[in-house]
C-alpha cells in the first residue's frame, strides 16, 4: 500500500510549525500505524532528513504514550483503539492521511507530533492518590469489603491510560474525562473516602490552572477514548465538586 | 483525621472562578429559563382562544403578569437569568477558544458529537438577537409604549391583544413578514439550543443515573421540539387568520 502523508512538522516548542507532505510506499495492511511511521522515518533518515518525532512506548495499547490526531480523529478512525493498535488496513490504498499532534495550549508541542502532557502528571500530583500510613499495621486492601458494582466501576475508571485523546478531541480542549476518571477510580472505593472532597477540589483547580477548556457535554471524548471511559465519571466529579463546595469540607 | 489545607469554597475562590462553578451557573440559569418558557408558552397559548372574547382573557392575563408583585419579582429573576446565561456563556466560550490556540488542519467533529452540542454559542446568539427584537416589539410596548386602554367592567386594562394582532398583520405592519421569519428562525435556534442544552444542564449538575438519564434526555428532546413548535404555531395562526 502507498499513502500520501500530511504531517505537522515543528522544530521545537517556540518554532513555527507547518504541514508537510511525504509519500510513503511499501506499506502492508498488517503494519500498525506506528510501524508505518517507522518506515517513513527510515526513508527520511536514509535521505539525510530529520525523522518525524512521535511518542510511543509499549505498542500494545496500555501505556498511553502514543497519540496523533489522524484524519481529524484522535488515534485515528477506529473506536476504542490507540494509534499503536491501529492497522494500515483501516485505510484505503493511495489515501491521503493527515497526521497532527494533540492540539491544546495545556499540551505544548515538544517536536513534530510529540506533545508535553506533564499537565496530567501535575493534576495527579495534587490529589490523584490515597494517603496510607505505612507504620504500624496497615489494613490489607483485600480485607476491606468493596461491593462488586463499585469495584467494577472503579476499575473501569482506572483503565484510563492518560493518553490525552479526550483533550485532543474535545472542541474546547477540556480534560474533564481524564480528571473525572482519576477522581472516580478513588472516589468509588473505601480507601478513597477520607480525601474524597479535598481530592476533587485540588484536581479540578489544577486542571483549571493548566489552561484546559470547559466541558460542554458534547460527549466527543467518550466516543474517541481508546479505553471507553464513560461520561458517568464526569457527572460523578461534577456531583462531588458541587458537594465539596457546598459543604466546605 | 487531618484536615487538608486545600479546602476552598465558592465563596473563597469567587463564585465563578472554577470551570465547574461556571458550568453549574450555566445549567441552573438555563434550566430556570426552561421553566420560564413553559410559563410564557402557557400564557401565549391563550391567543388561540382570544378571537372568541376579543382578547379579554389575554389582556387581563397580561395585566396580571405585569402588576402582580410575585410575578414581577419572577420577571426580574428571568431578566437576570438571561443576562447571566449570556455573560457566563461568553466567558466560557472565550476560555475554550484560548484552550486551543492552534486549530487542526483536518477535523471531523461530526463523527463524535452532535451538531447542536457543538454550536451552542451560535444558537444562543441567534436566540438572543431574536429576544432583543421580541422584547422591543412586545415587552417595551407593554411597559413603555402607547397602548390603547380597554374597559372591562369598569377596570381599565392595556389592550396588548390588539398590539399583537396588528404586529402580525402585513397590512398594518410592513415588517410583519420579516418579523415572522425572524420569529421562526429564533424558535428554530431555540429548539436546537435546547436539544443539547436541556439534558446537558442535568449532566453539568452531576444529575446522571443509569435509570433516569434516558428519561431526562428524552424529555429534553421532546421539550426542544414541542415548545418551539407551539410558539411558532401561535405566530403562524395569528398571521393566517388575518392574511
Res. A167: pLDDT tops 50 = yes
Q: Are residues A234 and A140 in the same domain?
A: yes
Q: Where do the domains of chain B lie, and which CATH numbers do they carry?
A: 18-96+116-240 (1.20.1300)
Given a cut of 60, whether residue B8 has pLDDT beyond it is no
Contact B23 A213 (CB under 8 A): no
Statement to judge: residues A33 and A105 lie in one domain: yes
- Percent above pLDDT 70 for chain A: 100
Fill in the DSSP letter of residue A187.
H
pLDDT digits (tens, 9 = 90+) for A115-148: 999 999 999 999 999 998 777 777 788 889 999 9
pLDDT greater than 60 at residue B15: no
CB neighbours of residue A118 within 10 Å = 13
Residue B6 has pLDDT above 80, yes or no: no
Q: Is the confidence at residue A95, as pLDDT, over 90?
A: yes
Confidence of residue B2 (pLDDT cuts 50, 70, 90): very low
> How many C-beta atoms surround the C-beta of residue A238 within 10 A?
27
**The domain boundary residue, chosen from A68, A90, A111:** A111
Residue B88: pLDDT over 90: yes
Domain match, A140 and A29 both: no
Nearest CA in chain B to A19: B105
pLDDT at A38 over 80: yes
In this predicted model, what pLDDT tens digit does every residue of A182-237 receive, in sequence order?
999 999 999 999 999 999 999 999 999 999 999 999 999 999 999 999 999 999 99
Chain B residue with CA closest to A79: the answer is B112
Residue A1, min C-alpha distance to chain B (Å): 22
How does pLDDT run across B143-157, given as a tens digit for each residue? 898 899 999 999 999
Chain B CB within 8 Å of residue A139 CB: no
**pLDDT score, position B3:** 43
pTM value is 0.93
The interface pTM score, or ipTM, of the predicted complex is: 0.93
Same-domain check for residues A165 and A83? no
For A246, the closest chain B residue by CA position comes to: B9
- What is the distance in angstroms between the Cα of B207 and the nearest Cα belonging to chain A? 7
The answer on pLDDT for A35 being more than 50 is yes
User: Which of B99, B203, B214 to mutate: most A Cβ within 10 Å?
Assistant: B99
Query: Which of B1, B3, B20, B204 to mutate to probe the A interface, most A CBs <10 Å?
Result: B20
Q: Specify whether A99 is located in the same domain as A150.
A: no
Chains A, B: CB contacts under 8 A, how many? 157
Chain-centre distance of CA A247, in angstroms? Answer: 32
Q: Which of B7, B18, B203 sits opposite A198 (nearest CB)?
A: B7
Based on the domain organization, do A238 and A125 belong to the same domain? yes
Higher-confidence residue: A154 or B14?
Answer: A154
Q: What is the pLDDT of residue B118?
A: 97
| A20 and A134 both lie in a single domain | no
Are A81 and A139 found together in one domain? Answer: no
Shortest Cα distance, chain A CAs vs residue B179, angstroms:
32
Q: What is the pLDDT of residue B243?
A: 67
Among candidates A208, A248, A230, which has minimal Cα distance to B22? A208
Q: Are residues A23 and A77 located together in one domain of the fold?
A: yes
* Contact (CB, 8 A) for B141 and B133: no
Residues of B within 8 A of A207 (CB-CB) are: 19
The alpha-carbon gap from B191 to the nearest alpha carbon of chain A, in Å, equals 17
User: Is residue A236 located within the same domain as residue A184?
Assistant: yes
Report whether pLDDT(B134) > 80: yes
Structural domain harbouring A15: 3-111
Are A103 and B103 a contacting pair at CB < 8 A? Answer: yes
Cβ contact B99–A73 (<8 Å): no
Interface test with B, best of A173, A195, A238 (most B CBs within 10 A): A238
Q: Are residues A82 and A144 in the same domain?
A: no
In DSSP notation, A68-92 reads: -EETTEET-SSTT--GGG-BGGGS-
Residues 27-66 of chain B with CB under 8 A from chain A are: none
Q: Is B196 on the interface with A (CB under 8 A)?
A: yes
**Greater confidence, B140 or B224?**
B224
HSE-CB of B211 using CA atoms within 13 angstroms: 0
Which pLDDT does position A137 carry in this prediction?
76
User: Which residues are within 8 A (CB) of A246 and not within 5 positions of it... i.e. 6 or more apart?
Assistant: none
Q: What are the backbone dihedrals phi and psi of residue A77, each rounded to the nearest 5 degrees, phi first? A: -75, -20
Contact of B110 with chain A, judged by CB distance below 8 Å, is answered with no
The confidence score (pLDDT) of residue B17 equals 82
Nearest residue of A to residue B21, measured between CA atoms? A242
A156 and A88 in a common domain: no
Q: Write the DSSP assignment of B59-124 as a string of letters.
A: HHHHHHHHH-HHHHHHHHHHHHHHHHHHHHHHHHHHHHHHT--S--SS--GGGTS-HHHH-HHHHH
Q: By CA distance, what is B206's nearest residue in A?
A: A235
Rg (CA), chain A: 20
Q: Which residue has the cell 505537522?
A: A8
CATH assignment at residue A143: 1.10.1060.10
The answer on pLDDT for B11 being more than 70 is no
**How many angstroms away from the CA of A188 is the closest CA of chain B?**
15
| Helix (H) or strand (E) run with residue B156 in it | strand B155-158
Determine contact: B216 vs chain A, CB below 8 A: no
Provide the mean pLDDT of chain B. 92
Tell me whether residues B9 and A248 touch, CB distance under 8 A. yes
- End position of a domain, from candidates A65, A95, A111: A111
Q: What is the DSSP string of B14-72?
A: -TTSSHHHHHHHHHHHHHHHHHHHHHHHHHHGGGGTHHHHTTHHHHHHHHHHHH-HHHH
Domains: count for chain A: 2
Give the mean model confidence (pLDDT) for residues B230-243: 91
Selected residue of A98, A172, A199 to mutate for chain B interface (largest B Cβ count, 10 A): A172
Smallest CA–CA distance, residue B186 to chain A, in Å, is 22
Count of Cβ atoms closer than 10 Å to residue B129 Cβ: 14
At residue A246, the 3 state secondary structure works out as: helix
Which residues of B, range 128-147, sit inside 8 Å of A by Cβ? none
B98 in A contact zone (CB under 8 Å)? yes
Q: What is the CA radius of gyration of chain B?
A: 21
| Residue ranges of A 93-132 with Cβ closer than 8 A to chain B | 98, 100, 103-106, 126
CB contact under 8 A, B112 and A69: no
Distances (CA, A) of A142 to A134, A195, A244, B142, B147: 16, 20, 29, 70, 77
Please tell me the predicted confidence (pLDDT) of residue A141.
81
Q: At which of A59, A88, A111 does a domain end?
A: A111
Amino acid at each position: 500500500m502507498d499513502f500520501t502523508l500530511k504531517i505537522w512538522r515543528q522544530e521545537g516548542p517556540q518554532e513555527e510549525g507547518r504541514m508537510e507532505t511525504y509519500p510513503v510506499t511499501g506499506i502492508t495492511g498488517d503494519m500498525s500505524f506506528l510501524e508505518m511511521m517507522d518506515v517513513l522515518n527510515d526513508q527520511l533518515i536514509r535521505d539525510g532528513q530529520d525523522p518525524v518525532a512521535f511518542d510511543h512506548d509499549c505498542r500494545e495499547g496500555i501505556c498511553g504514550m502514543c497519540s496523533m490526531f489522524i484524519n481529524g480523529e484522535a488515534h485515528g478512525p477506529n473506536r476504542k483503539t490507540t494509534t499503536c493498535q491501529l492497522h494500515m488496513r483501516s485505510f484505503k490504498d493511495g489515501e491521503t492521511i493527515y497526521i497532527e499532534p494533540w492540539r491544546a495550549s495545556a499540551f505544548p508541542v515538544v517536536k513534530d507530533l510529540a506533545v508535553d502532557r506533564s499537565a496530567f502528571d501535575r493534576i495527579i500530583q495534587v490529589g490523584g492518590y490515597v494517603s496510607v500510613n505505612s507504620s504500624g499495621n496497615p489494613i490489607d486492601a483485600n480485607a476491606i469489603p468493596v461491593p462488586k458494582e463499585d469495584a467494577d466501576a472503579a476499575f473501569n475508571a482506572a483503565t484510563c491510560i492518560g493518553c490525552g485523546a479526550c483533550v485532543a478531541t474535545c472542541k474546547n480542549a477540556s480534560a474533564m474525562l481524564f480528571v473525572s476518571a482519576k477522581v472516580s477510580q478513588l472516589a468509588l472505593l473505601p480507601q478513597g473516602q477520607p480525601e474524597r472532597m479535598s481530592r476533587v477540589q485540588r484536581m479540578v483547580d489544577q486542571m483549571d490552572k493548566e489552561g484546559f477548556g470547559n466541558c460542554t457535554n458534547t460527549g466527543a471524548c467518550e466516543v474517541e477514548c481508546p479505553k471507553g471511559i464513560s461520561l458517568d465519571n464526569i457527572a460523578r466529579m461534577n456531583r462531588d465538586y458541587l458537594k465539596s463546595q457546598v459543604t466546605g469540607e | 483525621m487531618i484536615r487538608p489545607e486545600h479546602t476552598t469554597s465558592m465563596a473563597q475562590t469567587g463564585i465563578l472562578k472554577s470551570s465547574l462553578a461556571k458550568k453549574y451557573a450555566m445549567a441552573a440559569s438555563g434550566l430556570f429559563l426552561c421553566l420560564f418558557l413553559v410559563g410564557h408558552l402557557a400564557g401565549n397559548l391563550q391567543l388561540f382562544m382570544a378571537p372568541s372574547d376579543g382578547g379579554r382573557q389575554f389582556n387581563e392575563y397580561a395585566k396580571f403578569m405585569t402588576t402582580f408583585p410575585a410575578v414581577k419579582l419572577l420577571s426580574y429573576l428571568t431578566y437576570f437569568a438571561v443576562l447571566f446565561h449570556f455573560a457566563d456563556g461568553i466567558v466560557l466560550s472565550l476560555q475554550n477558544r484560548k484552550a486551543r490556540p492552534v486549530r487542526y488542519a483536518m477535523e471531523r467533529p461530526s463523527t463524535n458529537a452532535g451538531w447542536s452540542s457543538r454550536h451552542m454559542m451560535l444558537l444562543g446568539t441567534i436566540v438572543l438577537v431574536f429576544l432583543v427584537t421580541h422584547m422591543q416589539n412586545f415587552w417595551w410596548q407593554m411597559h413603555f409604549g402607547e397602548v390603547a386602554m380597554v374597559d372591562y367592567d369598569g377596570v381599565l386594562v392595556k389592550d396588548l391583544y390588539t398590539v399583537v394582532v396588528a404586529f402580525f398583520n402585513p397590512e398594518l405592519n410592513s415588517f410583519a413578514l420579516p418579523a415572522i421569519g425572524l420569529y421562526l428562525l429564533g424558535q428554530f435556534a431555540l429548539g436546537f439550543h435546547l436539544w443539547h442544552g436541556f439534558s446537558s444542564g442535568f449532566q453539568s449538575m452531576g444529575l446522571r443515573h443509569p435509570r433516569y438519564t434516558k428519561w431526562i434526555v428524552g424529555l429534553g428532546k421532546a421539550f426542544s421540539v414541542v415548545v418551539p413548535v407551539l410558539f411558532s404555531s401561535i405566530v403562524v395562526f395569528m398571521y393566517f387568520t388575518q392574511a
